[in-house]
Structure formats: structure tokens, C-alpha cells
Structure 1
Amino acid sequence: CLDGFDPSNKTEWVRGNFSHGCWRKEELQCGGEDSFLTLPAMKVPDKFVRLWNKSYDDCAVECSKNCSCVAYAYANLSTSNIDGDATRCLLWTGELIDVEKGGAVGNENLYLRLTALSSKGRKSIVIKVIPAISASVLLILLLACLVWFRKFKGKHDKKGRPRRLIMGDLRFSDGLGEETHELPFISFEEIVTATNNFSMSNLL
């Protein structure tokens, strides 16, 4: 089904029976409240009304001001040497019968009339999605900051000083029974640097 339309019989549609066609979800509103959606590479529907010697802008205005016009198309005709009119303006005022997208015969832009509510619905979806994405990104950043803070805090004492690995009161001996040097306190950062981030090649 085209944008703004749903299957008339969803049960049969799922079974592959499309004979019931599609129905418009929202009725058109006359009085300039409708908009036109461009559907590219379409096989235009049957049963159109042709307006002669109209420019593209004229064609759009003709359909826009006609409340019964549900779609229009405009293109150059290859039969201009026969009827003398190199352009065509096609309007549809009833059901859109035998319309297809793509394929060997799909080479026209079809301008489909939709209600203003349909176009607003698309905007409202975008408006709802953007804040949701922003909130998700913000939540991820907050979680990352929390993890970093906890990790950073774990490496420092309550006074903000880096925690050091306490080796106890072990001392070096000079071989004569006298202990001359205390083992230094080593920070975690120094160990990381010395072991190349605990590389297996530096395993003791």
C-alpha cells in the first residue's frame, strides 16, 4: 500500500490476496490543509483526467484547488508530434487503480495527496525519536563517567593521594646482619608503567 493507506482486508493481504486493495487511513481535508507526497519511479494509475497545455506549476495548482483530486503527475509526452502538446498534466479524482512502484514501466513521479495530519504525524515521530536518542546518549555518558569516577576513586585514599602498595617493614641486609635500606613504597601507576600494563612479556 502507498503511504497513508492500509490494506482493506489485512487477513487476506497476509495470505497474498491483494484484490481488496487499500483504503486511506485519514480522510482528505479540503481548504488548503492537505499536502502532496512525491512518489518517484511509479507506474501511474488508470482512469486519469488529462489537462492540456499546463505547466508543472499549473498542474500542481489545479489538483491542489480541487478537493476531489487525490493525486497528479506531470511529464513530457512522446506523442507531441501528434497532438501538438508536448506536456501532460494528469489528475486522479477517484480510486487509484493499478498503481505500481518500480519495474520496467515505473518511471513517473506521482504526487499523492495526504492529509495534513499524516504529514504532522511524520514530524511528531521525528520529534519523539530525537529526544529519546539524546536521552540514551546522555545516559551512556553518565554511566561512563560513573564507572571512571569509581575507578579513579579506588586508586586514591580519602585525602586524594594515590594509594601505594605497602610492602611491610622488610629491609635489605648488607650480609653482616645489619639492615641498611628500607624497601620503597611503590605506587600502582609505577607498577603499571614498569610492567607495560601487566604485559605477559614482563611476567615475573
Structure 2
Amino acid sequence: MTYRLPSLNTLRAFEAAARHLSFKTAADELGVTAGAVSQQVKKLENSLGVLLFRRLPNGLLLTSEGETYLPAITQVFEDLTHATEQIAPDINSRKFRVGLCPAVRGLLPANWPHHNENLRRHVRECIETSDIDLLFDNELDCLIRPGGGPYRDLTLVVVTCPQRAHDLHFVCRPGTAECAQSRAILADLAQHLACCGK
């Protein structure tokens, strides 16, 4: 059977942009530029022959077609993740080696990440560093730093930090931003940074 489907990159761009209703935030998640996300979404819309977004001066709105399409596409990505984890369980069972920039250390509990039992299940080691090359050398699984870049083909997730002028950057290898380890680390970071901002 031949499948006539849009490219995976266009679908990823649509799904992220639809979740955030923002090309910029989707771009931060995917580690590309907002222009690249916009172009991928436009390419998808052209291939489908329908508009998925209404582009407004202050953001995006899903069209009725976009609202119908999003849950199905989200489910497809969840199914792909599940299928991958079934044949490659180490993706979500291996503990991460985390790099933590010294400038970020003061924003978190003194014993982070060992303060949280859930994180202890996902983090093997945490070292203080801001060296992005350790990710390229596979010596780290992710790096948390106060901005920076460029990150080339690495994945960037921006973590909002209310008490700082700049948000934090969670940088990881492609394909690992949605795994259980990354989700646990990001959730804990968001919780602590939100509390510090109050």
C-alpha cells in the first residue's frame, strides 16, 4: 500500500504551532526559527488545500479544519512514541546525565535533582557545566542554561523563568525532548521557577 501523506516535518510544525498557537513558541520547542515553522505550516496547508490557521496580528487561531486535524495528528505522534518505546525501551528507561549551568544552580533546591523521588528515577548524574559541546560528544543527555546558542541540530525547549529577564534553555539531543526523562525534568524546573517568581 502506498501512503499519500504530508511530510513528517510539516506535521510536527503544525502540531507544535497548534498546541502553542504561536510559531515562535513552536520554533523554540523544535529548535528552529519561527520563519521555518511558518513555512512548514504553509507547505502543509498548500499540500492539503485547506487553511489550518487564521494568522492574526497578535497570534494564531485554528480554523475549523485545524481544530479537526489537531487531535488526530497529536494521537499519531503519541502512537509513534509508544511504538518506538516498545521496540527501543532504553529511550525511556535510561537515566539521564544532566548538565546544569552554575548560574542556574542558585534557582533550584540545593540538592536538585535528588530532592524529588520522581527525578531520581530519571536522572543518573547532574554535573555543573555550561559546555554545549558535551551534548555533541554524547557526554550529556541534556543541558540547562540561562540562554545561549546557537544549538545547531540540538533541540531547544524554553522554560519560562519569571524572576529573570531571560528564560532558561533546556537543550537536548533530537528525539529526546518528549521522553519521560525530559518531561520529568521540565515539569520540575517549571514548578520551581514558577514558585520562585511569586
Q: Which has the higher strand share?
A: 1
Bigger Rg, which one: 1
Q: TM-score, normalised by structure 1?
A: 0.18
Q: What's the TM-score, normalizing by structure 2?
A: 0.19
Bigger helix fraction? 2
